[in-house]
Structure 1
Amino acid sequence: MKKIIFMGTPHFAVPILESIVQANYEVVLVVTQPDRPVGRKRVLTAPPVKEAALKHDIPVYQPEKLKDSYEALFAYDADLIVTAAYGQLLPKELLEHPPFGCINVHASLLPKLRGGAPIHYAILQGEKETGISIMYMAEKLDAGDIISQRAIRIEEEDHVGSLHDKLSEIGAHLLIETLPALFEKTNDRIEQDETKATFAPNITREQEKIDFTRTQEEVYNHIRGLHPWPVAYTTHEGKTMKVWWGEKSINEYPSKRAGEIAHVDEEAIDVVCGDERAVRITEVQLAGKKKMSVKELLRGNKQLFQVGQVLE
C-alpha cells in the first residue's frame, strides 16, 4: 500500500482527503495550518482538514512555518505528498524527497489563474469555464507540469461558494482517477505554457469595494465573485454596507448616475451601473448589523433606501 502525506487546510481540501482515505491509500500524516482565533470572540479553532484527519485517527502536524521544520516529514517515509489549498510553499528539499514526487490539486485550468484565489477570479473576470488541475509541484507557485485536468462550466447563477463545492468534489474524483497511473509511472506530464499564465492573488480589501461605473455584467460578477466570502461592499449614507447578493435587473436607466438608486420596491433596490443598466440588490448588511434581505430592512424602515440616493 502506498503511503501518502496530505497537506491542506480549508473546507476545499476535506473531500480530497476523504477520497484518499476511502480509496484505501495509507495517509500517514496530515499537515495543516495552526489553529487560529475565529470570530468576534476570537475562539481558537482547528482547520477543517485537521478535524477530518482526527476523525480517521491520522496524525496531524501544524508547523507555523513549514520551511523551518519540514525535516520532520522525512520520518514518515511517504511515497507521495498530495497538497490542496495548504497555504504555504514547500521547500525544494521536501519537493525532491518522495519517490513519486509532490502533487497539487489546484482549482483552475492551469496555466490560467495561478495563486491563492482562483475560484474568486474565475467569476470576477467573467470566465465561462474553469476546472481542476492536478500537477507536479515546483518551486515556482503553481508552475509545475500538469498531470490531469477536468473542466466545468461556470453557470450564470454560480458564486464562489457553489463553485468552490463543485470544484472540491471534482478534485477529489479526479485525484483518485489520476493516482493509479502516477504510481505506475504511466501518467501524462505536460509542461505549462508560461506565455499563457495568469494570476489570482489573494483578494485585498480594496478589491472588495464595488465600482458602479463598471458595466452591469461586471458589477454582477463582482458581487457573486465575492459571495459568500469575503463579500463585496459599498457605502450607504457614508457608512459601509456589505452587498451579499444581487441580480441583473431587466430595467435600463438612461441619464442616471452610476451608483444611483433608481428604483425601490418591496424586494430589492435597483442600482445603476456604468452602462445605464442596473443590478438589483436583494441582500445587504448595514454597518454594525446582521445580514438581512432588503425586504426585511424595508419592512422596518421604508425610508432607508430612497430613489436618488447614490451608493459610493
Structure 2
Amino acid sequence: MDKIKVIFCGTPQIGASILETLIKMKNVEVKLVISQPDRPVGRKKELMPTPVKQVAIKNNLKVIQPIKILEAFDEIRQYECDFIVTCAYGQFVPTKILELPKIDSINIHGSLLPKYRGGAPIQYAIKNGDSQTGISIMKMVKKMDAGDYYIQEAIKITDEDNSGTMFEKLAVLGQKMIKENLIKIYNNELVPIPQVEEEVTFSKNITTEEEKINWNDSAINIWNHIRSLAPRPIAHTFKGQERYKIEKAKVINQKVINQKPGTILDINNEGIIVQTLDQQILILLIQRTGKKMIEANNYKLNNLNDLKIGDCFE
C-alpha cells in the first residue's frame, strides 16, 4: 500500500512523543509539522523551540509555527494528506483546515470522552480524585472535543501519580494507540462512536488564581489539587505577602485540633504539618519566592525561620 500521508499538529512533550511514533511507522509519511510559536522560558526568558519543533528539526521535517493556524491555510493546503493528526496543539483548528485531508482530521485527546473536553483534562482528572483516565482518538469537528471517537483506552491513576507522571504514561499509551489504529482508521475498520452529550464535562485551562491552595477545603481535595499542578505550574499559597509553591505533600490524620485551616501545627524531620478543614497535610516539597524548591524537612534540619509553628497560610 502507499504510505499514509500525515500533517501533524502539536506542541508539548506528549505531542512530541506521538510525532516520534508517526515518524517511525514504516507505512506513514509525515508531510508537515505545525506547532505553536516558540515561547520565552526560564528566568532569562530565552526563546526555546517547542518539544514538537525539536523532533521535527531532528528528523529534517518541514515545520511551521503560525500565530493563528488559519493564517497558514494557503501553505498547509499545498501538502496533500490523508490525515491531519493533532495532539495537544493548543489552538482551535478551523473547519476549513479540518476538511483538507482525504480521509479525516483526528485528535489524540487525554481523557475518556465525553469527560473532560478542553485544555487540561489530565489535571482535572487528578484534581477531582478520579481513579482512571485515558486516551480517546477522535474525529475533529468545529466544536471543542465534541467529535465522535474511534477508540478509547483507560489507564489507572495511582496515589503516587501527579500530572507529570500521567502525561508520561498517557504519552506511552497514545503512542501505542496511534500505532495500532491509524491503519485501521485508514482502512475504514473502526466505526466512530458518538459522545453522550448528557455526560459531557469540561476542563478549561487553569488560571493563576485557581493554582492557589484553599486551606478551608478537605485534606484529600488539597492533596489532589497539589498533585494536579505538579511538576508545573505548581500549587501555591501565601503567608502575608510571601508566596510559597508546594509541589508535593501527603495527607495525615492526627488528633482533631481546633486550629484555623492553614495553620502550621509542626515543623519536623518529615516536613511541615498544616491544618486543613478536616485532617492535616504534610508538606514535603516547598519553594519560597526567589529560592529553590527544597525538601520541607530542611526547615527543621537547617533551622530556617521564615516559617514557624503557629504561622497561618492564607
Instruction: Quote the residue 2:295 is aligned against.
Output: 293
What is the aligned partner in structure 2 of residue 262 from structure 1? 265
Hey, what does 2:11 align to over in structure 1? 9
Structure 1 runs not aligned, ≥5 long = none
Tell me, in whole angstroms, the C-alpha distance in 1 between the residues paired with 2:54 and 2:12. Answer: 10
Identity in percent? 40
* Pairwise CA distance, 1:26: 0.4
Q: Where does 1:154-193 land on structure 2 (aligned, <5 Å)? A: 154-193=157-196
Q: Are 1:31 and 2:34 matched, yes or no?
A: yes
Mapped partners of 1:157, 1:69: distance in 2: 42
* Counterpart in the other structure of 1:153: 156
5+ long unaligned stretches in structure 2: none
Amino acid in the other structure paired with 1:278: Q
Please say if residues 253 and 272 of structure 1, whose CA atoms lie closer than 8 Å, have aligned partners that are also in contact: no
Residues in 2 aligned to 1:21 and 1:45: alpha-carbon distance in whole angstroms: 22
- Which residue identity does 1:18 align to in structure 2? E
Instruction: Assess if the C-alpha contact under 8 Å between 1:253 and 1:278 holds in 2.
Output: no
Match for 1:252 among 255, 265, 270?
Answer: 255
CA distance in 2, matches of 1:212, 1:129: 26
1:239 corresponds to which letter in structure 2?
E
Once residues 304 and 57 of structure 2 are traced to their aligned partners in structure 1, the CA distance between those partners, rounded to angstroms, is: 50
The one-letter code of the counterpart of 2:224 is: N
1:297 to 1:70, Cα distance in 2 relative to 1, 3 A: farther
1:126 Cα deviation from its structure 2 partner: 0.9
Return the alpha-carbon distance in structure 2 between the equivalents of residues 239 and 35 of structure 1. 31
- 8 Å CA contact 1:30–1:53 kept in 2: the answer is yes
TM-score for both structures, normalised by structure 2: 0.96
| Among 174, 198, 203, the residue aligned to 2:201 | 198
Report the alpha carbon displacement of residue 237 of structure 1 after superposing the two structures with TM. Answer: 4.3
CA distance in 1, matches of 2:273, 2:299: 15
Shift of 1:302: 4.4
Aligned match for 1:223, one of 205, 222, 226: 226
What is the alpha-carbon distance in structure 1 between the residues aligned to residue 48 and residue 70 of structure 2? 23
Aligned partner of 1:272 in structure 2 is 275
Aligned partners of 2:230 and 2:45: how far apart in 1? 23
After superposition, the CA RMSD in angstroms is 1.2
Question: Which residue of structure 2 lines up, in the alignment, with residue 41 of structure 1?
Answer: 44
Q: Please name the residue that 2:311 is paired with.
A: 309
Asked if the contact 1:145/1:191 (under 8 Å) is kept, the reply is: yes
Q: Amino acid of the residue matched to residue 61 of structure 2?
A: I
4+ long deviations beyond 2 Å: 295-307
The answer to whether the 8 Å contact 2:272/2:297 transfers is no
Once residues 93 and 311 of structure 2 are traced to their aligned partners in structure 1, the CA distance between those partners, rounded to angstroms, is 50
CA contact (8 A) 2:211 2:234 kept: yes
- For normalisation by structure 1, the TM-score amounts to 0.97
